[in-house]
Amino acid sequence: MNMLRQVAVVLAAAGIVVAGYGLGLCDYRTPTTDFVQGKLSFFYQHVDDPGTAGIDLSTGRLWFEARRQFDSVTEGFGLVGSGEMLFRNLRLVQVLAGATGALRQYVEGPWPVFTFVGFEAGLNTVHFQPLVEAQAGLGFGRFYDVTPLAKALRIEAQLLRLGAIPVSLPNEVVLAVAVAIDQPDEVVTPAERATTVVRLIEREVRRTLDAAAVLLVEEIIVAPGQQRFCGWRAEAGMAYELLDPRAGPRDLLFSFALDGALAPEPGSQLLFRTKISGPYWILDQHTLTLDVTFDYQFDTVTSFMTRYTLRQDKPRGQAPAGTQAAAFQLGFDLGWVGVSIRMEFSKIAEALEWTQNIVIEAKADLW
């Protein structure tokens, strides 16, 4: 019962807003957003036809990404690291890695205005040295982790499907379930969290959930890799190149970035990021990047993801050049590990047609 009282207090203090007549994921608000995410995937393909000389095909890729995001009312920080290792003929031929980090200090007031300082680093072994930039500037906007409400709505939908509850839960009960799920690990264990959720639901429907329903609640609460986010953030700032990957002059750059996240419903997520940077003649010389991802969770096992990326480099006085890539992926998850079938399309600026590739890869949610 002590845990139920804590949930009631947090629910009142969180300032959760529900717009309109229903529950919208992107209307969920808590004072603090804190999440950690790590992913890993690998594939290798090897073909050696005895009817031809030498190895016909031998390539592979190891990819990883790690994220840490924290936001409170007054401050926040973000760290993102990713890397890709390319193999050919069972040998490592290229390494690409990148990392970004930023510290944010929110200005006191009703609007999410903040100042930031940060860095960006990148490594491509085909270049002379890595890229390192120091950054600072102003921004507006904030992201929210709405995973607890997404899981609460998923619990409600699955219990209705099982017939464990007769009708949909009232909004205030769904919100209380979300707050119970959102309790930090330092305060309650996953088992205690699930017990509180079951008690909240049983109190509302005035019936006892059977073992299958309780197990379903526990599985949804601890399920990895189903984070949902909402919000947007715009940044404008300056960056100074501490290291230039092509050993060129170190430039003072201006940068503008826009990030967005939308979760239309518990099973889907749209992520968007675009950034342009360059010297003060930025329209004539710049680097433009765009990354759009949409994923949809059909059930606890099957998911679909599509992604489009663009990178365009425009030297001063020259035509822009760059790369585009699109991917479509069907994934099957078994806990923290899984397998996916991915179709990839890529194209460089001077190419007339898209390169196509189909791969089957193993993947894992590290944390």
Domain boundaries, the chain: 2-31+147-222, 247-365
Report whether 297 contacts 268 (CB < 8 A): yes
- Fill in the DSSP letter of residue 181: H
Which residue from 82, 67, 71 is spatially nearest to 233, judged by alpha carbons?
71
Enter the tokens of residue 207. 């019936």
Q: What's the full length of the chain, in residues? A: 367
The tens-digit pLDDT sequence of the chain (367 residues) is 444 444 443 444 344 434 333 578 888 888 788 888 888 999 888 777 777 777 777 889 999 999 998 998 899 999 999 999 999 988 999 999 999 999 999 998 889 999 999 999 999 888 878 989 999 999 999 999 899 999 999 999 999 999 999 999 999 999 999 999 988 777 888 889 999 999 999 999 999 999 999 999 998 998 876 789 999 999 999 999 898 877 777 888 999 999 999 999 998 999 999 999 988 888 888 889 999 999 998 887 899 999 999 999 888 888 888 899 999 999 998 877 889 999 999 998 778 889 888 888 888 877 6
- CA atoms of 207 and 180, how far apart (whole Å): 20
pTM exceeds 0.85 for this model = no
Cα–Cα distances in angstroms (integers) from residue 39 to residues 83, 337, 338, 360, 367, in the given order = 11, 10, 11, 16, 8
- Fill in the DSSP letter of residue 112: -
Paired with 120 in beta bridges are 100, 133
The SS3 call for residue 361 is: strand
- For residues 172, 109, 74 and 265, what is the CA-based torsion angle, rounded to 10 degrees? 40
Cα–Cα distances in angstroms (integers) from residue 141 to residues 73, 90, 308, in the given order = 12, 46, 24
Enter the tokens of residue 14. 């969180």
Enter the tokens of residue 287. 């680097």
Report whether 98 contacts 273 (CB < 8 A): no
Give residue 172's pLDDT.
Answer: 92
| Beta strand 355-365 pairing with 337-348 | antiparallel
- CA atoms of 150 and 28, how far apart (whole Å): 10
Residue 260 sits at φ, ψ, to 5 deg, of -145, 150
Which residue from 31, 44, 38 is spatially nearest to 64, judged by alpha carbons?
38
Phi and psi based region of residue 220 (left: phi greater than 0; alpha: psi -120 to 50; beta: remaining): alpha
Give residue 22's pLDDT.
Answer: 57
Interaxial angle between packed helices 190-205 and 2-14, expressed in degrees from 0 to 180 and rounded to the nearest 10: 90
